[in-house]
Amino acid sequence: MTETANANFVDHMFFKTEIDKTVNQIKLRVCPGLLVEKHILTPFELNNHSRAPFCYQPDVITAAMLEAESTLDIALYNPNIDGQETIVQMIMFDEMELAGNIHWGCALRIQDLSSPVKLKLCGLLDPPEPHGRDWCLLALRLGLCQDKIAALDSQHSSHTMRLLTTADCSIGALITSLHELDRLDAAEVVLRSAPIFKIIEHVSV
C-alpha cells in the first residue's frame, strides 16, 4: 500500500471510529446498562460472499491477545475453511502498515471499559464474597497500597467503581487478576465486552 493510500485508509478507519462513537452514545441513552459484544466475521468468507460466514467471538480474541507474545502474531482457527486467519487479516485488512494506528484491547487502560461493563463488574464484585474474593482483594492484586484501599472503602458509593476509576492498570492485567482470584464470572464479562482494539493517530510498534 502506498503512503497516500495508507493515509486514506487510516482516515476511513477514523471516520468509522467516529460513527461507532455516535452509535455507542445513542445506545447508552436508549439502553443504558446494555452490555454489547463485538464479534468479528471471517474476512476470507466475506471476500468470497459466503452466506454463513464464521464468527470469531470476542472472548476468544481477547484471550488469544493475553497469551500471545505479540498481538500481530495471533492466528485463530476457522472451522468453515479448515484453516487459520490472522489478526492482521481480521482487523487490519492484511495491511501491516496500520499497526502503528492500532492500540490493542488488552493494553488499553481499565478506564477504557464502557460504563455498562463497569456497572456489571460493580454488581459482581461489590457484594461481600464468602472467600473474600471481592473488590478489596482485587485492589491488592492490582497493586494498590493499603492506604489507597482504605480510601476506596466508602459506604456512599460503589467500591468497585472507585477502584476502576483509581487503579492504573491495563485491561489485560484486570482480566489476569480476576482469573487469579478465580472470579471467572467477572473475568468473562471483561473478556466478552472489553474493546478489542482502538484506532489512534500513531504509535511505535
**Which domains does the chain show, CATH number per domain?**
111-193 (1.10.533.10)
Taking only the tens place, the pLDDT of each residue in 139-183 is: 989 988 888 888 877 666 899 999 999 899 999 999 999 999 999
Provide the whole-model pTM.
0.87
Written as nine digits, the cell of 53 is: 460466514
168/110 Cα distance (integer angstroms): 8
pLDDT confidence bin for 4, thresholds 50/70/90: low
68/42 Cα distance (integer angstroms): 20
Angle at 37 between CA 31 and CA 39, to 5 degrees: 140
Taking only the tens place, the pLDDT of each residue in 94-153 is: 888 888 889 999 999 999 999 999 999 999 999 988 877 789 899 989 988 888 888 877
50/52 Cα distance (integer angstroms): 6
| Radius of gyration for the chain, computed over Cα atoms and rounded to the nearest angstrom | 19
